[in-house]
Every structure is written in C-alpha cells, then in structure tokens.
C-alpha cells in the first residue's frame, strides 16, 4: 500500500515541476497559485522575482456555507477583489499539478468573473 502512495506522490511532484517550469510570475504579471486540501482552497498571487506573496485569499476567510466548488468560486472572487485593490489586473494561472476541473476551475472562474485576466 505504501508503494502506491509513493508512486502517486512522485507523479504529483513531476506534474508540479512540469507546470512550474513553464510559468513564472513577476511584479507586473504575478503567478496565481491554487492550493487545495480536502476542506479548503488557498489562492496566492506570487512575485517569483522577489520571492514574495503579493496578496492571498483562503476559504476560511469566507463565512459562506455550501459545496466546495461554490466556496472556491467565492474565494476566487475575493482574491480578485484584493488584487484589484492592489492594482493587479493580470496574472498567470498556476494549477499546481492539479487537473483543471472542480474546485480549481471554479476558483479560476471566480477570479475571472471579478475582473482578473489570465
């Protein structure tokens, strides 16, 4: 059983490295990183040149209840609002090795709906 988990983790690391090799964020065009756990979703706008987070949003910051996809959509909107307040209108999307569906897709669509372009 442990060998299967090691193989899955190794495959995820390979996907993350492959995605990260193609994506780089700057101060003018930051990288929108999506991380998820079983319960929550976490979004960050990252400047890779300086190695710092420009703004972030976490699903815990919302008082909303509902499905994970609905909450991730609202989290994406929250991040976009924070980005607009910081003067960021464009970004590069980093799915972090996850498949672009479900929670990841809804977070991206929420950010797009609120005005963030990528």
**CATH number assigned to the domain comprising residue 22:** 3.30.420.100
Residue 100 per-residue DSSP state: S
Distance from C-alpha of 95 to C-alpha of 116, rounded to nearest angstrom: 16
Is position 37 within any domain? yes
Is position 85 within any domain? yes
Distance from C-alpha of 56 to C-alpha of 86, rounded to nearest angstrom: 11
- The contacts of residue 22 (CB under 8 Å, 6+ apart) are none
Is position 88 within any domain? yes
Is position 40 within any domain? yes
pTM score, whole prediction: 0.87
Going residue by residue through the chain, which has 118 residues, state the pLDDT in tens, using 9 for 90 and above.
678 999 988 998 999 899 888 889 988 999 999 999 999 999 999 999 999 999 999 999 998 889 999 999 999 999 999 999 999 999 999 998 888 999 999 999 999 999 999 9
Question: 42: helix, coil or strand?
Answer: strand
Domain count, the chain: 1
Is position 84 within any domain? yes
Is position 118 within any domain? no
Residue 42 sits in which domain range? 2-113
């Amino acid at each position: 059983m442990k060998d299967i988990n090691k193989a899955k983790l190794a495959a995820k690391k390979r996907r993350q490295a492959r995605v990260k090799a193609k994506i780089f964020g700057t101060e003018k065009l930051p990288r929108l990183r999506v991380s998820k756990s079983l319960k929550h979703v976490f979004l960050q706008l990252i400047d890779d040149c300086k190695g710092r987070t420009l703004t972030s949003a976490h699903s815990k910051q919302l008082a909303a209840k509902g499905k994970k996809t609905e909450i991730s959509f609202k989290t994406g909107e929250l991040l976009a609002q924070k980005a607009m307040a910081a003067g960021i209108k464009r970004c590069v999307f980093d799915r972090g090795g996850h498949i672009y569906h479900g929670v990841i897709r809804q977070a991206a669509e929420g950010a797009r709906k609120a005005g963030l372009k990528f």
